[in-house]
């Protein structure tokens, strides 16, 4: 066997042992992740609209499900989409801002009770929202008796609730990132006469844009898909629902027969998320790994 053949054989064995299995695992994981999306797209274009006859490649394809989705006056999908975007964008911005301010204070300032505060907000975040659904309902119901615009059926109390729901996770993530920014930058700016607010706005925020983007995007996706608290606070008024709550009306009590319009709406609902991913993708990778080098 020549030297060239020997080296080729070694490279082939190395590729089989070290690389091939990774490709196989990646292919399996990718297929597992993509399959629900492919099935949803297939169901959206299947004019039969029935779960019992659904196939991966629809026999009868068309746009009937989308026509039904947009032409139903009792189920105004476009109104639901508008409500979802307004609530998700506003609450995500609030989550990002609140988390940034809290994280900056906990990262840059040393005060009594600092560690206790960090532990408390993390422990509070461990309890699921399901446990607080009844309590939130009662609080907002009583609050609405005094301030109607903060009562049930209004978007403002829901936005305020969502604005603080991810305080623990966001604060810890941002604090980890702020800890990686050298404090000497703050000290140099202080010598030049800058205050804490000016340092935060002029120095910290520009450096933290990637992690802000990640937090905003994760918050946006979570709020857009949230069902329980949204349905409790907004109720079942057709003009006040979000997409997550409203689409459920298509399959309520008749799950198998209205599968088509439901999946058509779900498919359209992915457009804002995909758009944000494409627009903000240059920040996502750096933002996801931000803060991983220093605790």
39 and 122, same domain (yes or no): no
178 and 223, same domain (yes or no): yes
The chain-wide mean pLDDT, for the chain, equals: 80
Name the domain boundary from 65, 84, 118. Answer: 65
pTM for the whole structure: 0.81
111 and 177, same domain (yes or no): yes
What is the per-residue pLDDT for 250?
79
Name the domain boundary from 40, 65, 90. Answer: 65
Q: Taking the mean position of all CA atoms in its chain, how far away is CA 28?
A: 25
Q: Are 250 and 261 in contact (CB under 8 A)?
A: yes
60 and 86, same domain (yes or no): no
Domain containing residue 227: 72-288
169 and 197, same domain (yes or no): yes
What is the per-residue pLDDT for 286?
60
55 and 135, same domain (yes or no): no
Higher confidence at residue 10 or residue 70? 70
178 and 249, same domain (yes or no): yes
Q: What is the pLDDT of residues 159-174, one digit of tens each?
A: 988 887 777 778 888 8
The stretch 34-51 carries a mean pLDDT of: 81
- CATH number, domain with residue 193: 1.10.3720.10
17 and 32, same domain (yes or no): yes
200: in domain: yes
What is the per-residue pLDDT for 279?
81
Q: Is the pLDDT of residue 31 over 50?
A: yes
Q: How many domains does the chain have?
A: 2
295: in domain: no
Q: What is the pLDDT of residues 211-231, one digit of tens each?
A: 888 889 888 988 888 888 888
Query: Nearest CA to 67 among 77, 58, 59?
Result: 77
44 and 81, same domain (yes or no): no
Burial pattern 30-62, b for ≥16 Cβ within 10 A else e, equals: eeeeeeeeeebbbbbbbbbbebeebeeebeeee
């Amino acid at each position: 066997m020549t030297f060239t053949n020997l080296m080729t054989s070694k490279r082939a064995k190395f590729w089989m042992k070290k690389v091939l299995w990774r490709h196989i695992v990646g292919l399996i994981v990718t297929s597992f992740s993509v399959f629900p999306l492919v099935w949803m797209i297939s169901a959206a274009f299947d004019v039969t609209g029935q779960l019992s006859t659904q196939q991966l490649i629809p026999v009868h394809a068309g746009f009937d499900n989308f026509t039904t989705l947009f032409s139903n006056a009792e189920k105004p999908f476009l109104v639901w989409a508008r409500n979802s975007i307004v609530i998700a964008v506003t609450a995500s911005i609030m989550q990002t801002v609140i988390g940034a301010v809290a994280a900056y204070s906990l990262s840059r300032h040393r005060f009594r009770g600092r560690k206790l505060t960090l532990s408390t907000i993390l422990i509070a975040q461990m309890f699921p929202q399901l446990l607080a659904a009844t309590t939130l309902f009662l609080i907002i119901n009583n609050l609405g008796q005094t301030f109607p615009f903060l009562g049930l059926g209004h978007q403002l109390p829901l936005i305020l609730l969502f604005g603080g729901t991810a305080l623990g996770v966001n604060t810890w993530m941002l604090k980890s990132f702020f800890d990686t920014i050298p404090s000497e930058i703050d000290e140099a700016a202080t010598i030049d006469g800058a205050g804490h607010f000016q340092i935060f706005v002029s120095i910290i925020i520009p450096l933290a844009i990637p992690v802000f983007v990640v937090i905003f995007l994760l918050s946006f996706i979570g709020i857009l898909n949230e069902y329980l608290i949204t349905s409790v606070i907004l109720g079942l008024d057709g003009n006040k629902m979000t997409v997550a709550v409203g689409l459920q009306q298509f399959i309520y009590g008749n799950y198998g027969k209205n599968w088509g319009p439901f999946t058509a709406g779900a498919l359209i609902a992915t457009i804002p998320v995909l758009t944000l991913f494409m627009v903000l993708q240059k920040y996502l990778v750096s933002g996801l790994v931000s803060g991983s080098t220093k605790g």
